[in-house]
Amino acid sequence: MDVLNAIVALANFVIIPATAYGAQLALGALGVTLIYGILRFSNFAHGDTMAFGTMVTIFVTWGFQAAGIGFGPLPTALLALPFGIAATALLAIGTDATVYRFYRTQKAKPVIFVIASLGVMFIMNGIVRFLIGVDDQRFADGERFIIGARDFREMTGLEEGLAFRTTQGITIVVAIIAVVLLFWFLNRTRTGKSMRAFSDNEDLALLSGINPERVVLITWIIVAALATTAGVLYGLDKSFKPFTYFQLLLPIFASAIVGGLGNPLGAILGGFLIAFSEVGVTYAFRKVVGYLGPEDWQPEGLLQLLSTDYKFAVSFGILLIVLLFKPTGIMKGKSV
Amino acid sequence: MSDAANTQTPASSINAKNILLFALVALLFVGTGFVQSWNTALTIFNMGLISAIMALGVNMQWGYAGLFNVGVMGFVALGGLAAVLVSSDPVPEAWALGGPRILLGLVLGAATILAAILAYSRLPAGRLRMLAILVILIGGFAIYRAVIGPGVEAVEAYEPASTGFLGGLGLPVVLAWPVGGLLAAGAAWIIGKTALGLRSDYLAIATLGIAEIIIAILKNEDWLARGVKNVTGIPRPVPYEVDLQASESFLNFANSLGADPVSASTITVKLAYAGLFIVVLGVLIWLVEKAWNSPWGRMMRAIRDNEVSASAMGKDVKARHLQIFILGSAVCGLAGAMMTTLDSQLVPGTYQPLRFTFLIWVMVIVGGSGNNWGAVLGGFLIWWLWVQVEPLGLLLLQGLTAGMEEGAFLREHLLDSAAHMRLLTMGIILLLVLRFSPRGLIPER
C-alpha cells in the first residue's frame, strides 16, 4: 500500500495531461459554441481554422527563431501568437464576407450554413496543406520542464516521478487568462452584452438597435483568437499536424454539445469532462492499482478499459448518453 | 429544395440540357482515354460508378428526407469489411484457437447492452435504476473482456504475418455486396434509433463520430480483418490478367484486334468490372426513380418540406426518417463492398472523412440534391475532377514556376504541394455551386 506514489502516478499520467487537454478542448469548444450562439450553425471548419492559426503562428515562430528573437524560458510561439490571431481573424472575417453573409441576408436554413462551412473546411484544409504540408511539425522551444521527473524524485524521495512540462503549465495559464478575458468581455462590456442579447433573442436585439453585422464581426474576431490559441497550445503540447486538427473537430463538438451548445460555461465544463474521460478510460491503471495493493504486487492485466485508438469512441459515447437523457446538454443550451 | 418547383408538372428528367450535361461528362472520360490512356480513363470511370452509387445513397437521405449524414465513410468501410468477411478464405486453425470464445464474448457484450436497455425501460425511475444499469454495464464489460480477451490473443498470435485473423467464409465476392448493404443497414438502424429524434446538427455530429469509431474498430480489431496489417488478395468476380494472358483464345482475340496482350487484358478486366457495376447502378437508379415517383416518394417529400403538417396528416415522421436513413446507408455500404472488391484489398488506414464523406457530399450538392440523375452526374464529374486536378495542378504550377531557378525552394515547395490543390478546388466548387446554383446542375423537378 503506497498511497503517495499512487497519487503521483495518477497525477503524472492522468490528471496533468487531462487538465491540459481539457483546457485546449474548452478553448476550441468556446469558439464552436460562440458561433452557434450568434450565427446559429455548427461550424465544421473550426478544426481547420485552428490549423490555419497555428500554421501562421509556426511560420512567425520560425521567423523569430531565425532572427534570434526568443522568449527566455517560454516558447517563442507565445510571442508569435498575436500574429497568428490577427491573420486568422482576417481570414475569418474574409470568409464571412464572401461566404456566410450572403446566406445570412437570405435567412437560409442552418443546414445550408453547415454545408457552406464544409466548403470552407475544404478550402482552409487545402491552404494549410499547400503552405506547410501534411507532416508533423514541432515548434516548441524554451525550457522543457517546470518540474522534471528526476528532480521530483530527488526532491521528494518518492519512487514515482512527476513531470510537469512547460507546455502543460502554459496551456493551463493561458487558458485561464483567455477564459477570464472572454467572460469579462461578455459580461462587463457594452459590446459583449449586445452579443449576449443577440444570442438570446435576435429579434429583440435588433429592435433595441444592436447592429447585427458588428456583432458578427466581433464574434469572428473572438472565435479566431480562441481557435488560434487553442490550436497553438495543442500544437505546443503535442505536435502540429493538419489531419489531427481536423480530427479534433469531434471531441470539440462533443464538448460543446455535452455542455450545452451556445452556453460558454457549458463549453468549458464539457471540454474538461471529455478530456478526463478520454484520458481516464484509455489509461492503463496497472501502475496506480499496483501501488495501492499489497507490497510487491502488480495486477495481472494492464487494467486499461479501451485501447487509446478508441478515444473518439469515448467522447462519442459521452455525447450520446448526454443527448439521450438531457438533449440540450448539461448546462442548458439552445436548440434551433 | 422546398420551392414551388414541387407543384409544377412533373417534367421528365430526360431533356436536352441534362443529356448535354451527361454528354459533356462522357466527353471528359473519352478525352482522358485519348489524351492519357484508356486504362486511366477506365480506372477513373469504374471508381466514378462507385462514387455515383454512394452519391445516390446520400441523395436518398438528403434529397428525399433532408437528413444530414456525414458518416458516409463508416458505412463504406462496413461494406469493405463485408467483402473480407464473405470472400476471404477461412482460417480453421484460428477458429479452433479462439473462434468460439470471440463469438461467445460478442454475444455476451450484446446481451449486456440489451440487459441495460431492458433495465432502463422496465425498472421504475430513480437511484435504484441507475445503480442497476451501472452494475449491469460494468459487470458485463468485465465479463466480456475476460471472455473475449484470450480468444483475441490466441487468434492474433496465429501466424500474424500472413493471417492472424479469423478469415471469412470463402464465398464468391459478389455475395459480399448485399451483405455490405446489410451490415451498413444494421449500423444505420442503431444510429437512427438513437440520434434521429434529435436536431439536425446532432445527427451530423453523431454520424461523424460513428464513422470514426467504425474506422477505429477496423484498425484495432486485428482478429476481425487484420487491422492495419490490411487484408489483401480478396478474390475477384472477374478473371485475372495473368490468366487471360495465358489463355489461348484470349491471345487470339487480342491478336485479331491488333492489340498488345498485356494492355488488352488489363482493359478487358476493367471493362468486366465496369459491366458489373453498371448493372448494379442501373438497377439502383430504376428502383430509386420508381420509389421517388410512388406515393411513398411523395410522402417522403411531404415530410421533408413540412414535418408538422405531415405528422398532422397521420404520417409517422420518425419511422419514415429511420426507414430512409437505413436505406440510404445500405446503398453506401453496397458501394463500399464494391469498392473493396475493385481494389482487392481492405486498407483501413486509407479511409479519411474528406475523401469518403465530404467528397460524396460535394458530388450530391454539385449534381443536384433531390435528383437521382443529378447525384449520378455529380458522382462522375466530381470524381473525374478529384483525380485529374492533381496532374492539372501540377501542369499549372510547372507553367507558373518554369521561369524560376531549378531547385529553388519556392519552386520545389510549389511542385510538392500540387497534390493539395484538389482540396482547394473541391471547396471552391462546392461554395460556387451552393451560392450561384444552389439546386445543383440537374435540379429537383
What is the percent of chain B with per-residue pLDDT over 70, rounded to a whole number?
Answer: 97
pLDDT bin (cut points 50, 70, 90) of residue A26 is very high
The phi and psi torsions of A148 (rounded to 5 degrees) equal: -85, 160
Q: Is 80 exceeded by the pLDDT of residue A301? A: no
Contact at CB, A257 and B200, closer than 8 angstroms? no
With beta carbons under 8 A apart, name residues in chain A contacting B421: 126, 130
Round to whole Å and give the CA distance between B67 and B325. Answer: 8
Q: Which residue stretches of B247-405 are H helix?
A: 248-257, 261-293, 295-305, 307-312, 317-343, 353, 359-367, 372-401
C-alpha cell at A131: 503552405
Here the ipTM equals 0.89
Model pLDDT, residue A253? 92
Residue in this structure with the C-alpha cell 398532422, named with its chain if needed: B312
What 3 state SS string does A113-134 have? Answer: HHHHHHHHHHHHHHHHHHHHCC
With beta carbons under 8 A apart, name residues in chain A contacting B204: 42, 114
Q: Is 60 exceeded by the pLDDT of residue B8? A: no
Round to whole Å and give the CA distance between A237 and A243. Answer: 16
Q: Is 50 exceeded by the pLDDT of residue A66? A: yes
Q: Is 50 exceeded by the pLDDT of residue B401? A: yes
- pLDDT (mean) for A239-268: 90
With beta carbons under 8 A apart, name residues in chain A contacting B219: 309
| Residue pLDDT, tens place only, B359-388 | 999 999 999 888 999 999 999 999 999 999
| Residue pLDDT, tens place only, B107-126 | 999 999 999 989 988 888 88
Mutation target among A100, A115, A319 for the B interface, most CBs of B within 10 A: A115
C-alpha cell at B298: 411523395
pLDDT bin (cut points 50, 70, 90) of residue B12 is low
The answer for A 293-332 residues in CB contact with B (under 8 A) is 301, 305, 307, 309-310, 312-313, 315-316, 319-320, 323-324, 327
- pLDDT (mean) for A215-240: 94
Burial A176-202, CB ≥16 within 10 A → b, else e: eebbeebeeebeeeeebebbebbbeee
| Residue pLDDT, tens place only, B254-294 | 888 877 888 888 888 999 999 999 999 999 999 999 998 99
Select from B68, B354, B428 the Cβ nearest to the Cβ of A111: B68
| Residue type for position B58 | V
**A168 in B contact zone (CB under 8 Å):** no
Model pLDDT, residue B13? 62
| Residue pLDDT, tens place only, A111-168 | 899 999 999 999 999 999 988 888 888 888 888 888 888 888 888 878 788 888 888 9
Model pLDDT, residue B6? 43
CA dihedral of B394, B397, B402, B406, whole degrees rounded to 10:
-70
Q: Which residue stretches of A201-330 are H helix?
A: 202-207, 212-237, 242-247, 249-259, 264-282, 286-292, 311-325
Model pLDDT, residue A81? 94
Instruction: Answer for the pair B374, B367: CB distance below 8 angstroms, yes or no.
Output: yes
With beta carbons under 8 A apart, name residues in chain B contacting A284: none
Burial of A248 (0-12, 13-18, 19+ CB in 10 A): buried
| Residue pLDDT, tens place only, B34-89 | 988 898 999 999 999 999 999 999 999 998 888 999 999 999 999 999 999 999 88
- Contacts of residue A61, defined as CB under 8 A and 6 or more positions apart, other chains included, come to A75, A76, A77, A79, A80, A139
C-alpha cell at B99: 473462434
Q: Is 60 exceeded by the pLDDT of residue B1? A: no
Q: Is 80 exceeded by the pLDDT of residue B203? A: yes
CA dihedral of A213, A216, A221, A227, whole degrees rounded to 10:
-160
How much is the mean pLDDT over chain B? Answer: 88
